[in-house]
């Protein structure tokens, strides 16, 4: 008898929303329930995809064109999907991923101003019909998020963008959530951490109950 396909959970948000902290909370939630899962991230997740991540995040003497950035994102995603995400889901494992294609529509689409239709074509080409089952969007004023990011240390190529860039990214995330309310759950990440965790727990319970 074939094992039931695992669930695909993604976490999204602008810089400094606290994804790492909240992903740790999600993994504890799954461990407590005896759910087998893998934790991964985008861009990255496999050896080769992590190398592409380096190209995307590092500051280069030769500026990276917007289209090159988009294609690198999907190149990393194609490797990630075939080598890690799809096999895990087929084995019945849950996949918890720090960012996925919603980030591409938000960052490269809204942030960079690239044609959303072109991104959709690449999405279909690379992913087929595969989409996350549940997406948690941590929402935060980009000005607050960037202050948090600055306190973490040196900024990568994306974190060096202007605030207006991240405002467009945030708006795009909220539009995605409004368009797909059954998949996307928005959590106010400006609240104290314990309140965010409480909201996250409620979102997980509600979202997973709707899926199962």
Please spell the DSSP secondary structure of 182-205, one letter per residue: TTEEEEETTS-HHHHHHHHHHHHH
The pLDDT of residue 71 is: 98
pLDDT value at 150 more than 50: yes
pLDDT value at 152 more than 70: no
CATH code at 8-211: 3.40.50.300
The pLDDT of residue 1 is: 38
Distance CA 46, CA 76 (A): 9
Predicted confidence (pLDDT) per residue in 111-130, tens digit? 999 999 999 999 999 999 99
Domain residue ranges in the chain: 8-211
pLDDT value at 72 more than 50: yes
pLDDT, mean of residues 171-192: 95
CA 161 to chain centre: 18
Q: Which residues make Cβ contacts (< 8 Å) with residue 117, sequence separation at least 6?
A: none
- Model's pTM, two decimal places? 0.91
Tokens of 160: 């060096």
Contact call for residues 200 and 21 (beta carbons, < 8 A)? no
Q: Which region among 16-20, 28-32, 129-133, 168-172 has the lowest average model confidence (pLDDT)?
A: 16-20
pLDDT value at 42 more than 80: yes
The pLDDT of residue 153 is: 63
């Amino acid at each position: 008898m074939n094992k039931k396909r695992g669930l695909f959970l993604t976490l999204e948000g602008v810089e400094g929303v606290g994804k790492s902290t909240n992903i740790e909370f999600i993994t504890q939630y799954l461990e407590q329930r005896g759910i087998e899962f893998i934790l991964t991230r985008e861009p990255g997740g496999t050896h080769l995809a992590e190398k592409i991540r380096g190209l995307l995040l590092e500051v280069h003497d030769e500026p990276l064109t917007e289209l090159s950035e988009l294609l690198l994102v999907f190149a990393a995603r194609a490797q990630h999907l075939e080598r890690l995400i799809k096999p895990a889901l087929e084995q019945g494992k849950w996949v918890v991923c720090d960012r996925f294609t919603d980030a591409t529509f938000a960052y490269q689409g809204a942030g960079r101003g690239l044609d959303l239709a072109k991104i959709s074509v690449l999405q279909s080409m690379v992913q087929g019909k595969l989409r996350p089952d549940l997406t948690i969007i941590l929402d935060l004023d980009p000005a607050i998020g960037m202050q948090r990011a600055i306190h973490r240390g040196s900024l990568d190529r994306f974190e060096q963008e202007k605030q207006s860039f991240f405002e467009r990214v945030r708006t795009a995330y909220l539009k995605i959530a409004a368009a797909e309310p059954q998949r996307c759950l928005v959590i106010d990440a400006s609240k104290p951490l314990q309140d965010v965790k409480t909201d996250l727990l409620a979102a997980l319970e509600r979202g997973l109950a709707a899926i199962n």
